[in-house]
Structure 1
Amino acid sequence: MMLSMPAGPKRFSWKNLYTGILEGLKVFAFYLAVLSLFRIFFIFWMSSYMGAGVGSHDILKAIWRGTRLSMQTAGALTFVSFVPGFVLHYVWPRWERKCVLALNGVLLLALSIFYVASFPFYRQFHANFNQMLFTGANDDLYALFVTMVQQYDLPVRLAGAIVLALGLLWLLRAFLKWDFLENLFDSVHMPRLVRWLGRLAFLYFTYIVVLLGIFGGSLGWQTAVNWENAGVTKDDFLNEAILDNVQAIYRAYNLNERMLACNGLDFTTDDIRVLAAKLANKPADTDDLDVYLTKEAQGAQVEKPKQVIVIISESFANWPLLDKYKDIPISHGMRSLIAEDDTDYCPTFLPNGASTVSAVTGVVTGFADANLYLTTMPESFKEPYPTASAPQMQKLGYDTNFWYAGPSTWERIGAFTQAQGFEHFYSRGDFGDVPGSVWGCEDEVLYEKVLAGLDADTPSFDVILNASNHSPYDLDLDAKGFDRESVREALTEGHQQDEELLKELGHYWYADRELAKFVKEVKEKCPDSLIVIVGDHADRYNIDKTPTTYERYGIPFIITGKGIHKGTLLKDSAGSQIDIMPTIYELIAPRGFSYMSIGSSLTRTNRQGVNYGFFITRQAIGKADTVPLVPESLDGGAAPEIDQQAMEDYINGVRSVSWWRPKYGPMLDETKLENR
């Protein structure tokens, strides 16, 4: 009896070539079908996020555009599994099918995990995967893990993703075994000429598919679809749904790389000089940026306070303070405070960025969010920037303290704030065994510690960053006294059974209540105090699933204390977090006091704000990167007019100076850009 020998390498033949290419085409078709079905189900399941007026034509356009874009994704995934399989087909054929299935199993598992995760991600950020993925990579990973387990049911979602991946792998295996096309051009009954014409047609068809896979549903780069030009509908949700999860992650990666390389901003030194001069209303006659940043206070507007306190409140959006939501009982504390005679309020204010760390850097350094991650840059730890708040408040005679509810290691916040001049830093590690979430102690605990640290006779500048209004939203709201049913009754019928929304609103209620209580206690203990309240960002949850730009991104700016009155702020004031410290300087500093800032005071001149993506005035808000700028009304009425050139100069001035000064220093020198 003869032993059968293991199959050796196969010789090149049309049959082997055809079989290998056909298997690759099958894999391509399978991935394209999966990505397309994923998209269709996502649109169906999340349809409540579509804006008013979206019709079937818009949905079909999004599906078609997305299918074209997913041809590129399917092509990339096919390439990853096809090339090893095609090589093994000739070198080691017995392992070919196992290798193909193993590689595709890994790819399908990754796709399934991304897809399952995309639903809660969109609910949280109103976007497909974006740069927050990489911002999170610099965050507290343990806290992120606990949040995903507690709020987003990570074990259940992961199990679901695994089951989905196994089901898809079974379908792929069955599809690859389906051999109805394997002998299409090798029938003995087919004339030789027909067979060869068929083979040529098959190769040409394969060539077309390859082009579609390379160029995103097009035959050339001129008409290629990619993540940058994919959004062609009028609806933000559908534009995000056009991107499959792989393309969305690729977008996030590209944007993050641009940020890290600092090449997302394209300004020459001549541009920056002119823009800085316009920002400062000075002649463009020097290459020293610090000349343009230097200002003189016009004279104190209130008696110099003993304590200056800036509270950066986690996810403290402005929309609950709007009149249209006044019947929802979650913002009584701030509404009552705003009504007090010693309080003024600007409702048109923007966060510095999309995350908490941007708010911190805005207040601590005075720089706008401009494609730099300041808490990780070596330059941030050499010495305080000249625009930094702590050293300038020290010049005015204040001790400087930073209070954070969470750990000092988060975003290197302890080392960063002290490197930028804060004399004292306090975090959860200094508070002992106190209640809270993985992100930090409860607000009432933090405020209690701060209150104990205040001395009515010792001038101090205190920045406070709380954390309770943050996912996983695990406060025991019932124990805190939250009247869930009153809030439920105030909601529209479609939201009354949304328990997750009620939990989120309950955390806003808690943050609002504790903030109002703290302000009252500070005024009692330190009556000569000035207190500023802002949110770190908004854009986490809204009652309206398709909120206006204003409701989605706006945060409050509230200033209260001795000497403050209605009209302290300009009646048409607007701003962003880089304007907080200039407002304080102009309120309390004596005439002629020299300070440095990019922003300006809401009590003197500031009537516009700008951040990483938007601009705002008292009448309008809009995206900062469109040409021309397209203002939207704050109240849904007719779009107001803006001075296009002045706003563009302001946007570019803030960004260019905030980009150059922290990385390259005060002198505008073109040679510094040669190696960037």
Structure 2
Amino acid sequence: MFSLFWSGIQQDVKLALVAPVLCAVFRLAFILVYRPKKTPFGEWKKWYHCFRYGFWWGMDFHAYVYLFSLVLVTLPGTFIPAYYAVGDTVRLVGICCYAAVLYTAFMGRMVFYRHFHDVYNHLLFLGRHADQDNLRDIFFNQDHGTWILWSYIPFLAACIGAASWLLGLPTVSFPVPESAALRYALHAAVGIAAIALFYWARYGGTFRHRKKPEWDEVPAVVKADIFMGKAVRDDLLVLEHLFHQKRDASLSHSDAEAISIMEPILPRAFSKSPLDAFCHVAAGARIRPPRHIFLLFLESHSQSLLDPLYGSLRLMEASKKWRREANAVSFANFLPGGMVSQPSIVSLMTGVFDCDMELNENPSFWQGAPQTALAPQLQRLGYRTSFWYGGNLTWSSLDHFVPAMGFDRAFGGPDICGKHAPRTWLGVYDHIFLEEVARRIEADTGAAGEFHFVYTTSNHGPYRIPFEQYGFDAETVMPDAPAALKRDAATRRSLASAWYADQSAVRFIERMREMDPDSLFIVTGDHATDILPLAYDIVPRREMNLREHLLTSFAMAHPSLDPAMLAERTIGSHMHIAPTLFEMIAPSGFPYRAIVPSFFEPIDHVVTPYAWMTKDAIGSYVDETEQPLAVSARLLSVRQEVRRFDAEQKALCELSGWLVRHPECLV
């Protein structure tokens, strides 16, 4: 009987090798696809420790393959010979199921990294309320989802073949001593060793739990390389950390704790709502108060394509021409309110950071708005507020959220353009949507003052709009771009999307300016996007600098705006838009609330929940990295484990948490 147990253990150990080997292959594939430097030449030590440490770290999960096989197959098979006979089949089914899980997590990582330039992070949670049709469209049309699904067949076939070969290897016979006492002692030793083997493997080749692999113990040579630091962790470890992460810690704090954490940003004491502490008084209008104010919130309108470094692509010529006008102001260093669309738009509308708390999905925020909300404060200045979105208002519960944030009217692209208007899953094509918005604004002469928040959708994967039909020709638009880039259909489409969206937005601005030359235009993007074609030697590097990954665009123009007013301003964020707007158009003595100052006050640093910026450096709280704030053809030096303005960042998140815990503070 014990010989069956002994043979079964050996089969369990053999099979336990499959998972860590698979993950090592996945790690290599991830590096070869996404890391700029594909070979270990000159950095053998880094690669060795990445794979060595990754192997043992991954055993935190993979050791359970051995344990489950031991408990569910070997132990019962020892006492039930008939079950032992089919034990290898059961083991094979089990390892194939686990391999499928690993493969799914790996392919998910590959897709996620392609879109967000990071392994799984908090943005994964925001997919719960995303437009599922849009996600499917992106998966199948941009991420080659059909091929991914078909790839399970050869992958699982290879796993079955490899596992069958391992199980078919001969096992070592168990020695049977003549002495019964010695025999029982040997049996006990093997049983104890079988259990000990699980703990030894799970703790990363040690029996000391405190030496179990974790991020703090990753070899310095690996951690110093940002990409290899991401590659060292298996996907299930990343997901486990993500799902066990204590999100929204502010929601569990007491009021006393919250006030203490918010202290770095509170300008004064408050009695009921912390937003009472952020009351400002306008100094007086700096421009002629316009009848029409347009805030264009453009999908993926990134600063990087506006940088001189990528001028040869000529994708943003429309915006550049508009920005060169005498009464236009633009900032080259501008942080969004969120890293993806939803938290950016929520932050801009509410005047407090969403902090990935999904305030738009919180029913409390369907009933009232923070005192810092943009639209209600503009209403006090006599403006009728309208929200125009290229997609369905049901996206992210905007149909509930936008009216609660004080907008008098809200329009969705499919509603105003017709159900059969050409559209992506995300929304109606920009030029069609904006033409209809313009037509309706021109026809509406009812209000004395109008504020229009216009949110576009087209500059977004899977980039399936027929751009050539709408004027894009690679040879005409970007004649100086490398020939190989122009032949790359996928890259060409993503760049064409940026060009098309920019052209459509500026045509809308020109049309609205013809209607009312005294209009005020504010243009920004919802977030940055990683579409820079770095594989084609436009710059001598294959990685984006941090500012290219983080910064969105910003510009504004009005006939009476004097750029000299803001000549010394070089950095800003979405949160600075509202107070700047009030200081530009509000009469002297007008009270308003904003958690940051306007651009008419000195700004030496900018902080969001995701990043920080000074006039000479930029940092990410997600990766805890810092780089110089500069447009550079070379890859700039990176400082790691840096969290500047940490107390301020935590205070901003705590402020949002307070409002979630105290819905009575919503007006």
In which range does the TM-score fall when normalised by the shorter chain? Answer: 0.7 to 0.9
CA deviations on 1:551-598 (whole Å, 9 max, x unpaired) are: 111111111123223234352342222222111111111122111222
Partner of 1:237: 227
Aligned residues: 644
Question: How far has the Cα of 1:416 moved from its partner?
Answer: 1.1
Partner of 1:70: 58
CA deviations on 1:275-332 (whole Å, 9 max, x unpaired) are: 65553533x4756413212222222111111112111111111001111111211010
Partner of 1:222: 210
Task: State the distance in 2 between where 1:100 and 1:557 align.
Answer: 58
Equivalent position amino acid for 1:113 in 2? T
**Residue 573 (structure 2) pairs with residue 576 (structure 1):** yes
SS in 2 for 1:622: strand
Question: How far has the Cα of 1:274 moved from its partner?
Answer: 5.4
**Residue 439 (structure 2) pairs with residue 439 (structure 1):** no
SS in 1 for 2:313: coil
5 Å-filtered alignment, 1:163-202, equals 163-181=154-172, 183=173, 185-186=174-175
Task: State the distance in 2 between where 1:112 and 1:626 align.
Answer: 25
Q: Is the 8 A contact 1:348 1:617 kept in 2?
A: no
Q: Structure 1 pair 60/402, CA: closer, same or farther in 2 (3 Å)?
A: same
Question: How far has the Cα of 1:218 moved from its partner?
Answer: 4.4
Between 1:40-49 and 1:58-67, the stretch displaced more is 40-49
- Residue 632 of structure 1: which of 591, 610, 628 is its match? 628
Q: Is the 8 A contact 1:456 1:525 kept in 2?
A: no
- The CA RMSD measured in Å over matched residues stands at 3.2
Partner of 2:20: 32
Q: Structure 1 pair 577/408, CA: closer, same or farther in 2 (3 Å)?
A: same
Equivalent position amino acid for 2:358 in 1? Y
Partner of 2:537: none
Equivalent position amino acid for 1:447 in 2? L
- Residue 342 of structure 1: which of 295, 318, 327 is its match? 327
Equivalent position amino acid for 1:42 in 2? F
Q: Structure 1 pair 485/351, CA: closer, same or farther in 2 (3 Å)?
A: same
Q: Which runs of 5+ in 2 are unaligned?
A: 535-541
**Residue 11 (structure 2) pairs with residue 23 (structure 1):** yes
**Residue 120 (structure 2) pairs with residue 120 (structure 1):** no
SS in 1 for 2:333: strand
Between 1:602-611 and 1:579-588, the stretch displaced more is 602-611
Task: State the distance in 2 between where 1:248 and 1:487 align.
Answer: 42
Question: How far has the Cα of 1:387 moved from its partner?
Answer: 1.6
Q: Is the 8 A contact 1:572 1:607 kept in 2?
A: no
SS in 2 for 1:310: strand
Between 1:200-209 and 1:529-538, the stretch displaced more is 200-209
Equivalent position amino acid for 1:513 in 2? Q
Task: State the distance in 2 between where 1:54 and 1:499 align.
Answer: 34
Equivalent position amino acid for 2:175 in 1? D
**Residue 291 (structure 2) pairs with residue 309 (structure 1):** no
Partner of 1:4: none
Task: State the distance in 2 between where 1:527 and 1:488 align.
Answer: 32
Q: Structure 1 pair 605/660, CA: closer, same or farther in 2 (3 Å)?
A: farther
Q: Is the 8 A contact 1:264 1:371 kept in 2?
A: no
Task: State the distance in 1 between where 2:474 and 2:101 align.
Answer: 39
5 Å-filtered alignment, 1:521-560, equals 521-544=511-534, 545-560=542-557
Partner of 1:9: none
Q: Structure 1 pair 77/475, CA: closer, same or farther in 2 (3 Å)?
A: farther
Between 1:591-600 and 1:231-240, the stretch displaced more is 231-240
Task: State the distance in 2 between where 1:401 and 1:428 align.
Answer: 13
Question: How far has the Cα of 1:378 moved from its partner?
Answer: 2.3
Task: State the distance in 2 between where 1:419 and 1:338 align.
Answer: 34
Partner of 1:478: 468
Question: How far has the Cα of 1:613 moved from its partner?
Answer: 2.0
Q: Which runs of 5+ in 1 are unaligned?
A: 1-12, 668-676
Q: Is the 8 A contact 1:312 1:536 kept in 2?
A: yes
Q: Is the 8 A contact 1:575 1:617 kept in 2?
A: no
5 Å-filtered alignment, 1:499-510, equals 499-510=489-500
Partner of 2:590: 593
Task: State the distance in 1 between where 2:48 and 2:648 align.
Answer: 40
Task: State the distance in 2 between where 1:435 and 1:223 align.
Answer: 58
CA deviations on 1:391-442 (whole Å, 9 max, x unpaired) are: 1111111111111111122111121111222121111231202111111111
Partner of 2:538: none
Task: State the distance in 2 between where 1:329 and 1:149 align.
Answer: 30
Between 1:64-73 and 1:356-365, the stretch displaced more is 64-73
Partner of 1:10: none
Task: State the distance in 1 between where 2:287 and 2:37 align.
Answer: 46
Q: Structure 1 pair 424/216, CA: closer, same or farther in 2 (3 Å)?
A: farther
SS in 1 for 2:553: strand
SS in 2 for 1:354: coil
**Residue 98 (structure 2) pairs with residue 111 (structure 1):** no
Q: Is the 8 A contact 2:364 2:663 kept in 1?
A: no
Question: How far has the Cα of 1:230 moved from its partner?
Answer: 4.9
- Could you tell me the TM-score, scaled by structure 1's length? 0.87
5 Å-filtered alignment, 1:154-165, equals 154-165=145-156
- Residue 249 of structure 2: which of 263, 267, 290 is its match? 263
Q: Is the 8 A contact 1:61 1:233 kept in 2?
A: no
- Residue 344 of structure 2: which of 359, 364, 383 is its match? 359
Q: Is the 8 A contact 1:227 1:248 kept in 2?
A: no
Partner of 1:273: 259
Percent of residue pairs identical: 21
Task: State the distance in 1 between where 2:325 and 2:68 align.
Answer: 64
Partner of 1:672: none
Partner of 1:653: 651
Question: How far has the Cα of 1:83 moved from its partner?
Answer: 3.7
Equivalent position amino acid for 2:362 in 1? M
- Could you tell me the TM-score, scaled by structure 2's length? 0.88
SS in 1 for 2:265: helix
Equivalent position amino acid for 1:484 in 2? A
Task: State the distance in 2 between where 1:226 and 1:647 align.
Answer: 26
Task: State the distance in 1 between where 2:375 and 2:65 align.
Answer: 51
Question: How far has the Cα of 1:547 moved from its partner?
Answer: 0.7
Q: Structure 1 pair 303/596, CA: closer, same or farther in 2 (3 Å)?
A: same
